[in-house]
Homo-oligomer: A and B are copies of this chain.
């Protein structure tokens, strides 16, 4: 374990989109939040031999290409894993075994078996282990969760989540590792559906007990990619490659406490760039959110006077709102990156002993993995309602 108040020395594994995002978060967090200890970025690990220049641009003092030589180093306290899902388990297990704190991008793993090994390792390791379901750090969603936890919405009946993107809408959008089951584990399901499932469970503080699900691949082959650009890239000539993951997923979920969940995720919702939406209806009120307008929360209270009831559009930039007080005056919004800054803040607080900040744990993230497994199982069995299997030692999601 690190010495309290000693500097926290960081290694980020993975230099893709997420590695860059985490890098920025580590740099930004200490300038806006009182963390109680210094953050020292030490080394960025990538697979490309020629990644050193990019690492320098991101202000990393050191670049390495083999994570195995990094995760156990004595000058590292935190291992932050931003690689594709197929490598999470191996890296996390090594880092935990070396006594490091571990922040692991979602999904926790590509299978329940892997996830369980990670949960077991985290249970006995000295380091703090968290999974990066970053959307939990959206002020609007954190506030919505607080309202629900306070009972402001009464008994929860409906959870309605959609995660709609469109970067695969064009059938000639190129193939990427995200469309390869071996690398990505699943397609839309694990990539963005996992966010919806985690958000849904966390928001209402209840686990999904059973699911009925359909998976669908609309475009079975795609041209090879010649240049990566953003999350997609530019297609090239050559034989089309098979898409071995789902393009879309539809889930009807039964929560343990009785709520009815309807969850849909797709990358082919033409015109929807990143519509990560969720709505919760309770007996006393409702909340609704769309990440395309991430600085707003829609909030309805049934106890507003008759004739004056309506969804309030709340700008989530007030000092009273989670995380928001550290930033700008009301009405001056935040962006996507701030979720990652908040995540780093909570992770450091968790390392400092703040129990509330220490979520989602690997165990909680593994429960998402179990829902994903039940989704896959249900889809393979004609959508029949399928229980989410739980470990014997498992409690209820916090």
A residues near B (Cβ < 8 Å) are 17, 21, 23-24, 27-28, 30-32, 34, 57-59, 143, 153, 157-158, 160, 162, 164-167, 169-171, 212-214, 216, 218, 229-231, 247-248, 250, 252, 254, 258, 260, 262, 264, 266, 268-275, 279, 281-286, 291-295, 297, 299-300, 302, 304, 306-315, 317-321, 327-338, 381-385
Contact = CB atoms under 8 A, between A and B. Distances in A.
A328 to B, nearest CB: 5
A8 to B, nearest CB: 15
Contact of A30 (B57, B170, B264): B57
A307 B320 contact: yes
Contacts of A382: 212, 384-385
A281 B270 contact: yes
Contacts of A284: 270
A329 B167 contact: yes
Q: How many copies does the complex hold?
A: 4
Given A292-B333, A312-B312, 14 more contacts: A17-B329, A24-B28, A27-B31, A34-B57, A169-B302, A214-B385, A230-B329, A269-B281, A270-B281, A270-B283, A270-B286, A309-B318, A311-B312, A382-B384
A268 B158 contact: yes
A311 B271 contact: yes
A160 B158 contact: no
Contacts of A268: 157-158, 281, 283
Given A271-B300, A285-B271, A338-B335, A252 B308 contact: no
Contacts of A28: 24, 27-28
Contact of A212 (B21, B160, B252, B297): B252
Contacts of A271: 281, 285-286, 300, 302, 309-311
Contact of A312 (B214, B262, B310, B330): B310
Contacts of A292: 295, 315, 331, 333
Contacts of A319: 229-230
A321 B307 contact: yes
A286 B307 contact: no
10 contacts: A160-B264, A212-B383, A214-B252, A230-B329, A270-B283, A272-B331, A292-B333, A295-B335, A308-B312, A384-B385
Nearest to A309: B314
